[in-house]
Amino acid sequence: MILPVYLCGQQVLRKVCQDLPADYKDLDQLIGNMFETMYNADGVGLAGPQVGLDYRIFVIDLNVFADEKPEFKDFKKVFINARITERDGEDVVAEEGCLSIPDIHENVTRKNRIRIQYLDENLNSHDEIFEGYKARVIQHEYDHIEGILFVDHLSGIRKQLVKGKLSNILKGKTNCSYKVKPASIK
Ligand SMILES: [Zn+2]
């Protein structure tokens, strides 16, 4: 089932999310819905708060880039109750966007390498290191479960420049091809 994507301005996007309870019912259904919602919106990552849930869960699928970059083949993952334990390597700048902040694309500086502990869709635990674009997407999604949005990383000047677009999103003035839930709708 395709879920509405909560837009910037919705309170849930600002919450530090809680761990997903071990006995959470319908986890498979939630994960299926999150992937479906993400694919429908042409996204490569989606986090719990973006579908209105303040739980530490996010999904990522980079297969869309696999033709150009074979390293992304089969990179379809679910991260539950994740904790980033290390961030190091170089600072890398690259453009990001977000399904919750339509029509805004801005450069964000992030560390090139992370170490993360998480549970997968079968609740098996992992402790892994990711680098490059994978590390970037994971950090973007991880920010969501910490109540952080990518525009928070922008410098004062860039923030000023996207202000108008952000206020349109708050008012629900967006041109999304997917179903959304703007802050103006309770
Ligand atoms: Zn996002």
Query: What pLDDT digit, counting tens, does each position of 137-146 carry?
Result: 999 999 999 9
- Laid out side by side, the sheet with 45-47 consists of 45-47, 57-61, 76-98, 101-119, 125-131
pTM: 0.97
Catalytic residue among 68, 95, 121, 141: 141
Query: How many Å apart are CA 93 and CA 137, to the nearest integer?
Result: 13
In angstroms, what is the C-alpha Rg of the chain?
16
What digits encode the pLDDT tens for the residues 3-28? 999 999 999 999 999 999 989 999 99
What is the distance in A from the centroid of ligand 1 to the CA of 142?
9
As a whole number of angstroms, the distance between CA 139 and CA 63 comes to: 18
- DSSP assignment of 109-146, as one string? EEEEEEEEEEE-TT--EEEEEEEHHHHHHHHHHHHHHT
CA of 126 to the centre of ligand 1 (A): 23
pLDDT digits (tens, 9 = 90+) for 33-87: 999 999 999 999 999 999 999 999 999 999 999 999 999 999 999 999 999 999 9
What SS3 class is residue 23?
coil
Query: Is 131 a catalytic site residue?
Result: no
Of 97, 108, 118, nearest in space to 158 by CA: 108
